[in-house]
Amino acid sequence: MSSITQSAQAHSLSGRGLRLFLLALAITIVADLIGAVRIPLGIGQVVLLPMVWALLIGAALGVWHTRLPRPTQVDLPLQYLAAAVLQPALLLFIAKLGLLVGGSLPRLADAGWALALQEVGNVIGCVLLAMPVALLLGIKREAIGATFSIGREPGLAIIGERFGMNSAEGRGVLAEYITGTLIGAIFISLFAGFVASLGIFHPIALGMGAGVGSGSMTAAAVGAIAAQHPEVADEVATFAAAANLIATTIGTYFTLFISLPLAVWTYNKLEPLIGRRAHQPHRPAAEVDESVVHEVPALGYGQRLLAWLMVGLMVLVGNWIGFSVPMLEALPGVALILIAVVIGDALYHGTRRLLPAVCWVSLVAMAMTFPATPFSAEISALTAKVNFLAMVTPMLTFAGLSLAKDIPAFRQLGWRIVVVSLLANAGVFLGATLIAQFFAHSL
């Protein structure tokens, strides 16, 4: 590519990026001003937090962009840019969780078995809850791809290598991925909040169950649980972060060598017994738009740095509106979070991506507040002024702004596979929570 073309693309990206951040900032402010809305639902309740409003508003701007005034239009290029910004933006949330974890490592060690067995809970809940429903609905081998995991990027890669994305299994994992991307955060927020309101599970067990999904889903679930149990909000976030770190590091290998073989075995055993002969016809692979996974633009270092700074500003504003912390008072804490992200990102690229970026950022942040680290108490005190819920809303704002691009593929996959995908997410959360609950007495 010529330098002239690169310069033109950079200029275009810069212009779109400014409009994207201004829209995201406006959405964050509106969502925080709306605040939390509690809806009684039988024996429990659902809490619609600012992060849910932010996601819904962002999605609406994308869906109806052709009918809106030019300044508020979120067209397809802007939706893909929002998806690109979401990835580095989530690192700020990961850093905040890592800062909470660092000072709590002794207590986390006491919960060792509960954390170590998280992946077992994920497998049991995901396969055993979602697979039978998929077969009863008449879904065939798509059920394997949709229920062997919650279908994040490693799951796509595993199924793609084993079966190919043009296979039935490939369509299933793509359905799980798109469902999680489009409505996973909203669903898990409502579901986790409702389960937390029942009072059945220990709040920290719920926190560990919340740490099994993607960054945006973890953020949504943690926020919903913390809203139901504000007295232990930081502890819920701490254990969720530890669970997410384990799921990110060893979860991929567990999925490859245990989850997928178990899903195949379960399908082969149950399908002859409960599978329906009449089922949704397979669509040609060409109808499924796999670009939702691959067309997100890569951001250079300067663009990532600008994204971190702009998201940091959104966090300061949300922290002020939602939690009455003056922006100047919270500024040192946000700056320390940014430092952890910058160092973690440098290690990620400097080690040639030996570990995922979220792992490096988590490790750096934990080291900053580890009791043996100089000034760890001061760092903890400063970053404590930044409420982690104030960090969730900007993340889901970008998630919402990126959603509309996936709707065409989402429609093609059919309602039955969507139901199965949501059950898989619910099963993962419940399975991990049940495992943790057995050890709740030691937490």
Could you read off the pLDDT of 184-218 as tens digits, one per residue?
Answer: 778 888 899 999 999 899 998 898 888 766 666 78
Cβ neighbours around 384 below 10 Å, total: 16
Q: Where are the alpha helices (DSSP H) in 137-259?
A: 142-147, 153-162, 168-179, 185-197, 203-210, 215-228, 233-249, 251-254
With CA atoms as reference, report the closest residue to 78 among 92, 55, 59, 102.
59
Position 280 scores a pLDDT of 44
Concatenate the DSSP letters of all residues of 25-86 into one string.
HHHHHHHHHH--EEEEETTEEEEE-HHHHHHHHHHHHHHTGGGS-GGG---HHHHHHHHHHH
Cβ neighbours around 208 below 10 Å, total: 34
What percent of the chain lies above the pLDDT cut of 70?
Answer: 79
Position 290 scores a pLDDT of 42
Position 172 scores a pLDDT of 82
Position 422 scores a pLDDT of 87
For 168, the token pair is 């039935």
Calculate Rg over the CA atoms of the chain. 21
Position 364 scores a pLDDT of 93
Question: What is the rounded distance in angstroms from the CA atom of residue 130 to the CA atom of residue 143?
Answer: 8
| pTM to 2 decimal places | 0.70
Position 31 scores a pLDDT of 93
What percent of the chain lies above the pLDDT cut of 90?
Answer: 21
Is residue 392 within 8 Å of 150, Cβ to Cβ?
Answer: no
Provide the pLDDT confidence category of residue 6 given band limits of 50, 70 and 90.
Answer: very low
Could you read off the pLDDT of 141-183 as tens digits, one per residue?
Answer: 888 988 887 766 567 667 776 787 667 887 788 778 777 766 7
Provide the pLDDT confidence category of residue 335 given band limits of 50, 70 and 90.
Answer: very high
Question: What is the rounded distance in angstroms from the CA atom of residue 442 to the CA atom of residue 109?
Answer: 11
Is residue 58 within 8 Å of 401, Cβ to Cβ?
Answer: yes
For the segment 402-421, the average pLDDT, to the nearest whole number, is: 78
